[in-house]
């Protein structure tokens, strides 16, 4: 199968609609070929969160010439490289040389995988967040968002554990399921939590909405992607100091999303049809190492 066919099949398998119901526009989507040629036979597929230098090396070892990451390749929204070329950026030039040497193509699957994948019952699910909940054993606690046609998507993604769980236990499930080195905790590990949410990106611009959600939904515990000190982090700590059972597991953006790219191997064969293409998940991995006092 040609690499261009692999890409077309994945797009066709996905729901392919934006949040407002309009079709994903191929001229505007993030899901572009970020590197290489598509008019050649696909020797193998590597799925990952971030096509790092180590992931590229591993793909070459596996003889896979297509990497499908969820995130950008060259460290900026839209994967613009003109500024890197102009600067003769050293890391850029060496990473590019590696891709050239190995003949690897990189196609990003971000908008399509979030847009929805068929659940077999006429419905759709977000491949990234379902992947995270599935791999960490939290899928059975998922609370669907009313009126949202795509399960496991939305702001926030919510879970309810009626019997409660300690933050420590919850963290252990995530560390184990997502293959992490650890998790930064804000709060007390023995706090028992029931209502858990992934509030998406807390990047300081619009976190009032997240604080409103925590208040309205009585959320005990946040599993955060980005986390900014001066907004929701402060808010949760003030809640704790007032006696609320609250905690934040600052898991990290890529650590939350990467299990979705592992989960991709479950649906990829169906998306590609009868002709099998060897596929692997290569974890770009937890970038954090913890030095504790």
For Fe ion, give the closer residue by CB, 109 or 207.
109
Whether omega for the bond prior to residue 156 falls within 30 degrees of 0, making it cis, is yes
Q: Are 256 and 223 in contact (CB under 8 A)?
A: yes
- Backbone φ, ψ for residue 125 (5° rounding): -140, 150
DSSP 260-276: HHHHHHHHHHHHH-SS-
CB of 266 to Fe ion, least distance (A): 18
Widest CA span in the chain: 61
* Footprint of Fe ion on 1-40 (CB under 5 A): none
For Fe ion, give the closer residue by CB, 132 or 235.
132
For the window 257-286, what string marks contact with Fe ion as x by the rule CB under 5 A?
Answer: x-----------------------------
Q: Nearest-CA neighbor of 2 among 275, 285, 281?
A: 275
For Fe ion, give the closer residue by CB, 257 or 286.
257
For the window 222-261, what string marks contact with Fe ion as x by the rule CB under 5 A?
Answer: -----------------------------------x----
For the window 61-80, what string marks contact with Fe ion as x by the rule CB under 5 A?
Answer: --------------------
**Dihedral in degrees, nearest 10, Cα atoms 256, 50, 18, 251:** 10
CB of 274 to Fe ion, least distance (A): 29
CB of 162 to Fe ion, least distance (A): 29
The size of the interface with Fe ion (CB under 5 A), counted in residues, is: 1
CB of 281 to Fe ion, least distance (A): 16
Q: Are 125 and 150 in contact (CB under 8 A)?
A: yes
For Fe ion, give the closer residue by CB, 36 or 260.
260
For Fe ion, give the closer residue by CB, 49 or 84.
49
- The DSSP call for residue 95 is H
DSSP 128-190: HHHHHHHHTT-GGGEEPPTT-SEET-SSSEEEEEEEEEEHHHHHHHHHHHHT-S--EEES-TT
Instruction: Let me know the angle formed at the C-alpha of 122 by 117 and 127, rounded to the nearest 5 degrees.
Output: 15
CB of 77 to Fe ion, least distance (A): 11
Collapse the DSSP code of 39 into the 3-class scheme (helix H, G, I; strand E, B; otherwise coil) and give the result: coil
For Fe ion, give the closer residue by CB, 210 or 257.
257
CB of 256 to Fe ion, least distance (A): 8
CB of 252 to Fe ion, least distance (A): 11
CB of 61 to Fe ion, least distance (A): 26
Q: Nearest-CA neighbor of 286 among 137, 172, 175, 132?
A: 175
For Fe ion, give the closer residue by CB, 93 or 287.
287
For Fe ion, give the closer residue by CB, 187 or 260.
260
Helix residue spans in the chain (DSSP H): 3-13, 53-61, 82-87, 90-102, 111-115, 127-135, 167-178, 208-217, 234-241, 253-272
Binding site for Fe ion (CB under 5 A): 257
């Amino acid at each position: 199968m040609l690499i261009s066919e692999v890409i077309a099949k994945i797009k066709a398998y996905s729901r392919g609609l934006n949040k407002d119901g309009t079709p994903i526009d191929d001229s505007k989507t993030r899901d572009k070929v970020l590197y290489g040629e598509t008019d050649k036979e696909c020797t193998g597929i590597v799925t990952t969160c971030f096509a790092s230098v180590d992931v590229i090396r591993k793909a070459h070892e596996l003889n896979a010439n297509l990497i499908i990451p969820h995130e950008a390749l060259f460290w900026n929204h839209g994967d613009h490289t003109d500024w890197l070329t102009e600067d003769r950026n050293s890391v850029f030039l060496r990473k590019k040389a590696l891709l050239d040497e190995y003949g690897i193509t990189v196609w990003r699957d971000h908008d399509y995988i979030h847009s929805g994948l068929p659940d077999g019952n006429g419905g759709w699910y977000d491949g990234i967040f379902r992947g995270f909940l599935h791999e960490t054993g939290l899928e059975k606690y998922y609370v669907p968002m009313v009126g949202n046609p795509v399960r496991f998507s939305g702001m926030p993604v919510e879970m309810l554990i009626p019997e409660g769980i300690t933050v420590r236990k919850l963290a252990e499930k995530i560390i184990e399921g997502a293959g992490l080195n650890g998790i930064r905790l804000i709060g007390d590990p023995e706090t028992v939590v029931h209502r858990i949410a992934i509030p998406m990106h807390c990047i300081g611009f619009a976190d009032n909405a997240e604080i409103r959600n925590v208040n309205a939904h009585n959320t005990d515990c946040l599993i955060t992607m980005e986390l900014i000190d001066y907004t929701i982090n402060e808010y949760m700590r003030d809640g704790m100091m007032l006696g609320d059972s609250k905690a934040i597991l600052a898991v990290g953006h890529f650590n939350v999303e990467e299990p979705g790219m592992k989960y991709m191997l479950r649906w990829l064969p169906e998306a590609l049809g009868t002709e099998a293409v060897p596929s692997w998940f290569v974890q770009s991995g937890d970038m954090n190492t913890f030095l504790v006092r």
